[in-house]
Amino acid sequence: MTPFLSVRDLYVRFATEDGTVRAVDGLSFTLERGRTLGIVGESGSGKSVTNLAVLGLHDPRTTEIRGEVLLDGQELTGAPESVLEKLRGNKVAMVFQDSLTALSPYYTVGRQIAEPYRKHTGASRREARLRAVEMLRRVGITDPALRVDDYPHQFSGGMRQRAMIAMALVCDPELLIADEPTTALDVTVQAQILDLLKELQQQTGAAIVLVTHDLGVVAGTVDDLLVMYAGRAVEQGPVREVLRAPRHPYTWGLLGSMPRLSSDVGQPLTPIPGTPPSLLAPPPGCPFHPRCAYAASVAEDRCRTERPSLPPGRGAACHLGEERQRSVFAERIRPRLG
């Protein structure tokens, strides 16, 4: 059976004055209805570029996109703008980090939720307004029938983010892409919003892609995890397995460098040495090799010369091999993570 969302061998390249930026470099993943895929990785690893490619939002004049994005069997790469336009906000919706810039200051919150509903369903103004009130109620806004007439600046940051989610979900999308939807919010509100997404997912069976910097967030929210580095997937699998027994040295680095919600307050975090590579000229072989403590221990200089492939399902794109990955993690990494 074909997966609901299938991204296969996706390449996204930008033509810039300095040369070609290889932002996404052969990425593949799948997602089923009712499930949530978390995407994590350092800044610049290609998370947002991937999602914008899925949504068909890149500027075709400066962006070269290759590969396949299939949604419910429909090919989206290269699909005409009219087709994509119809999908966005209807079958596919998105929530981005910055709700202040995403909501227009000139229209009431209610109107901004009601408009896409009217557009996609042909509902009357009155019906769409009722729907907006209902959506505000569902996302946990108190007195929704009153607040529907507020302007965005009358809402708090957390309320605006909820309103964004109401806007994204108003047409019952089958795929929701949430790119750092809670980063700007305090931890309690973050948790509430993620719970809300899960709850709405249980009601509608939507598939969700959740991009986050925060491994504490993914642990309780997503089913599967994709770890990205330099435009590639370096590790993937069910989230519990990836967090319990990560196999890629980069994932080890991420785990050691990210604060987690539950534990280790006050514990020193270890940053990953070095910086992410230039995407104008990514390193050959494994793109992580200049930063990897294990590259020298792999025979025949393979880390520098041979691009490791990511096995489908559970696995890591790394030449160390499963057995060594397990033993290094157990002996050296886990004790440090505490």
Ligand X SMILES: Nc1ncnc2c1ncn2[C@@H]1O[C@H](COP(=O)(O)OP(=O)(O)OP(=O)(O)O)[C@@H](O)[C@H]1O
Cα–Cα nearest to 197, from 32, 36, 30, 41:
36
- With CB under 6 A as the contact rule, the residue among 5, 27, 37, 49 that binds ligand X is 49
Contact between 287 and ligand X per CB under 6 A: no
Please report the sign of the dihedral spanned by the C-alpha atoms of residue 38, residue 42, residue 47, residue 48: positive
Q: Which of 138, 133, 127, 137 lies closest to 110, judged by CA? A: 133
Q: Can you read off the two tokens belonging to residue 337?
A: 């993570």
Token representation of residue 15: 């033509």
CB 28 to ligand SF4: min, Å: 18
Binding marks (x or -) toward ligand SF4, 276..315, rule CB under 6 A?
----------x-xx--x-xx--x----x----x-------
Is 48 an interacting residue with respect to Mg ion (CB under 5 A)?
A: yes
The DSSP bridge pattern shows strands 92-95 and 175-179 to be: parallel
As given in the structure block, the two tokens for residue 289 are: 């090799």
Choosing among ligand SF4, ligand X, Mg ion, none, which partner's interface includes residue 161 (Cβ < 5 to 8 Å by kind)? none
Nearer to ligand SF4, 182 or 251 (CB): 251
Applying CB under 6 A, the site for ligand SF4 has a residue count of 14
Candidates 5, 25, 46, 196; binder of ligand X (CB under 6 A) is: 46
Strands 36-40 and 224-229: parallel
Confirm if 307 and 300 have CB atoms less than 8 A apart. Answer: no
Binder among 9, 16, 305, 322 for ligand X (CB under 6 A): 16
254 sits near ligand SF4 (criterion: CB under 6 A): no
Report the residue number, 43 or 82, with the smaller CB distance to ligand X: 43
Kind and range of the H or E element at 177?
strand 175-179
| Residue list 194-253, contact with ligand SF4 (CB under 6 A) | 248-249
Report which DSSP code applies to 330: I
Write down the least CB distance from residue 243 to ligand SF4, Å.
18
What backbone phi and psi angles, to 5 degrees, belong to 269?
A: -100, 145
Q: Which residue, 44 or 246, has its beta carbon nearer to ligand X? A: 44
- What is the smallest separation between the CB atom of 166 and ligand X, expressed in angstroms? 24
If you ran DSSP here, which 8-state letter would residue 278 be given? P
Residues that bind ligand X (CB under 6 A): 14, 16, 21, 23, 41, 43-49, 279
Residues that bind Mg ion (CB under 5 A): 47-48
